[in-house]
Chains A and B, each alone.
Chain A
């Protein structure tokens, strides 16, 4: 299984981005890349995709769903593993995000001490299921 190394967060809230950075870099030893908007993130993915993208759902201009759709239209982002991060954890909403192709959905507020483990577990699960297909 390929090791998870680089995680890109697309999140418009600087406080949440800072906490996620500490959680993923300090506690998870991951390389963290952050963009405030989907538009910036899409450009960056085209230039060089990360291993995984974490998308905030509610963002101005492009919401997470729109970013994911746009990502799937690009060569570099077509098969990129994506996780959503949202404070709306109603089953209908979560189900919809999974239908759109998200690997999983992480609830906000997240625990900064376990976020990296959660992300790594989703990554491992994705690889296990890809290997059996």
Chain B
């Protein structure tokens, strides 16, 4: 018999992914411009932060929480915020199964801050 509580499906995959897909970012910067790509990434980070705050506010209202997580999953990955996108998908799935997602939202918050720091570090090193 298996002991303990299994981690929700997909969690190990999320942790092994890069916070930001620089490959996608660089392609976007090459095709448009560094300024455009940077603005889009910053806008997505701001939007993810606001979305995470909303998720905290609507905890207990599953339909609003699922809606918010679904929206975030579909938007931030476009500019390469892969791990945030995957975490939002996990929150959506778990909330759909009526599981407690408070810890996942906290993790999402940390991921957003870490992604913002990584973006800042990269900007400073240029």
B interface, size bucket: 20 to 34
Q: In the complex, A108→B69 CA distance in Å?
A: 13
B73 within 8 A of A: yes
Residue numbers in A under 8 Å from B70 (CB-CB): 58, 87-88
B22-58 vs A, Cβ < 8 Å mask (1 yes, 0 no): 0010011001100010001001100100000000000
Q: Interface SS of chain A: helix, strand, loop or mixed?
A: loop
A interface, size bucket: 10 to 19
Where the two chains meet, the residues of A that have a C-beta atom closer than 8 Å to any C-beta of B are 13, 15-16, 18-19, 22, 26-27, 58, 86-88, 108-113
Which residue of chain B has the shortest Cβ distance to A114 in the bound complex? B27
Beta-carbon contact of A112 and B78 below 8 Å: yes
- Can you list 16 A-B pairs, Cβ within 8 angstroms, ordered by A? A13-B71, A15-B43, A18-B43, A19-B40, A22-B32, A22-B40, A27-B31, A58-B70, A87-B74, A87-B89, A108-B78, A109-B77, A110-B78, A111-B78, A112-B78, A113-B24
